[in-house]
Amino acid sequence: MKNNFLRALKTTARVILFFFLIPDCSIAQEKGTLKKTPLSQPLVNHIYTADPSAHVFNGKIYIYPSHDFEAGVKEDDLGSHFAMKDYHILSMDSIGGKVTDHGVALDIKDIPWAGRQLWAPDAAYKNGAYYLYFPVKDKTDVFHIGVATSASPTGPFKAEKEPIKGSYSIDPCIFKDDDGSYYMYFGGIWGGQLQRWDNNQYHADAKLKTQNEEAILPRVAKLSADMKSFSEEVKPIRIVDTNGKTFLESNNDKRFFEAAWMHKYKGKYYFSYSTGDTHNICYAVGNSPYGPFTYKGIVLLPVEGWTNHHSIAEVKGKWYLFYHDVQLSGKTHLRNVKVTELKYNPDGSIQTINAYK
């Protein structure tokens, strides 16, 4: 009788415990398995693409991305696992329309001076020719920026025999101003090697800035008429706070890391960029293509994956943000490009975008 009573008591206790604990366990399990709902879907899924530079040429949208693939390279802070070796160009007639992959537009084996790692490109058009600008390490493992030309926006592109003289680091962005001048914005710290360049001189043993030092600045140079060279010395770009002070390295949620982009809106120059290790896409506004640019806020919050890289383009009177995440692979170095609408407030500020609902 005593044993039966104890068994009944234990059973009752288990039932009570079940009803108290299961709801919490269910909630915890739900939280653990809950996946973010993406705001946008990948533009293509047959290859991995990243770092999308978008332009409208002759009324059609062209996207110049990096082409990710599994190279089997061990991951490190210098981005060695981003071992890209060619470019595929994408196009579409309208946002949301069919996306065409035009195949290999430029292969690393066809760049005479290239060593390895064909990273984020950009493109421009002038006088019947299309120009593809790309960063790649030379045969001594130093990043420079090259240029290739084509009669078609989709290539194939033929690379120049040497990199652009005076170029260095990564992430070229080509901006055409209203007066017809073209500028290249570029730079990236850590694996992008910008920290090795001081006053346009290379120092192989240079270190990253410490927390209380002024952050490393992005660069700009005006392009020559031939679009294949700089017409001036490379200059640093100041990104400042509302008091006109340049950010310190400790302000790593606002300071420049990589992924420079320039666009113009209502007469103002909008310089946007990635903060890298804090994963924001931020923007700053100025009155000159050379800056200084005053920090205004975040364009895009961190996406899934380590990198955050973007472009901004106007298409048929609306503005769009092109970006990437790792929805298809879940792996940092295998990314997919996306697009979503970008909106401005009446005062010219950009509404912050969360890539997930």
- Number of residues assigned to the chain: 357
Judgement on whether residues 20 and 61 belong to the same structural domain of the protein: no
Judgement on whether residues 151 and 8 belong to the same structural domain of the protein: no
Q: What domain count does the chain have? A: 2
Residue 354 inside a domain? The answer is no
**How many angstroms separate the CA atoms of 230 and 75, rounded?**
34
Judgement on whether residues 338 and 230 belong to the same structural domain of the protein: yes
Judgement on whether residues 5 and 50 belong to the same structural domain of the protein: no
The CATH number for 286's domain is 2.115.10.20
Beta carbons of 286 and 303 less than 8 angstroms apart? no
pTM score of the predicted model: 0.90
Structural domain boundaries, residue 86: 40-342
Question: Annotated active-site positions, please?
Answer: 51, 258
Judgement on whether residues 82 and 62 belong to the same structural domain of the protein: yes
Judgement on whether residues 7 and 76 belong to the same structural domain of the protein: no
Each residue's pLDDT, cut to its tens digit, for the chain (357 residues) gives: 434 434 444 444 443 333 333 333 332 333 333 478 999 999 999 999 999 999 999 999 999 999 999 999 999 999 999 999 999 999 999 999 999 999 999 999 999 999 999 999 999 999 999 999 999 999 999 999 999 999 999 999 999 999 999 999 999 999 999 999 999 999 999 999 999 999 999 999 999 999 999 999 999 999 999 999 999 999 999 999 999 999 999 999 999 999 999 999 999 999 999 999 999 999 999 999 999 999 999 999 999 999 999 999 999 999 999 999 999 999 999 999 999 999 999 999 999 999 999
Judgement on whether residues 115 and 166 belong to the same structural domain of the protein: yes
Amino acid 28 reads: A
Residue 353 inside a domain? The answer is no
**How many angstroms separate the CA atoms of 240 and 244, rounded?**
5
Q: Which residues are CB-neighbours of 320 under 8 A, at least 6 positions away?
A: 54, 95, 312, 313, 314, 339, 340, 341, 342
**How many angstroms separate the CA atoms of 49 and 347, rounded?**
34
Half-sphere exposure of residue 120: CA atoms within 13 angstroms, side-chain side: 32
Judgement on whether residues 14 and 83 belong to the same structural domain of the protein: no
Judgement on whether residues 67 and 152 belong to the same structural domain of the protein: yes
Beta carbons of 289 and 274 less than 8 angstroms apart? no
Beta carbons of 140 and 207 less than 8 angstroms apart? no
Q: Of all residues in the chain, what percent are helix, strand and coil, respectively (each to 5)?
A: 10, 40, 50
Cβ neighbourhood burial of 95 (10 Å; 0-12, 13-18, 19+): middle
**How many angstroms separate the CA atoms of 353 and 281, rounded?**
10
Element (DSSP H or E) covering residue 5: helix 2-33
Q: Residue 150's beta-bridge partner residues?
A: 130
Residue 98 inside a domain? The answer is yes
Judgement on whether residues 127 and 233 belong to the same structural domain of the protein: yes
Judgement on whether residues 156 and 8 belong to the same structural domain of the protein: no
Residue 194 inside a domain? The answer is yes
Beta carbons of 159 and 112 less than 8 angstroms apart? yes
Judgement on whether residues 132 and 19 belong to the same structural domain of the protein: no
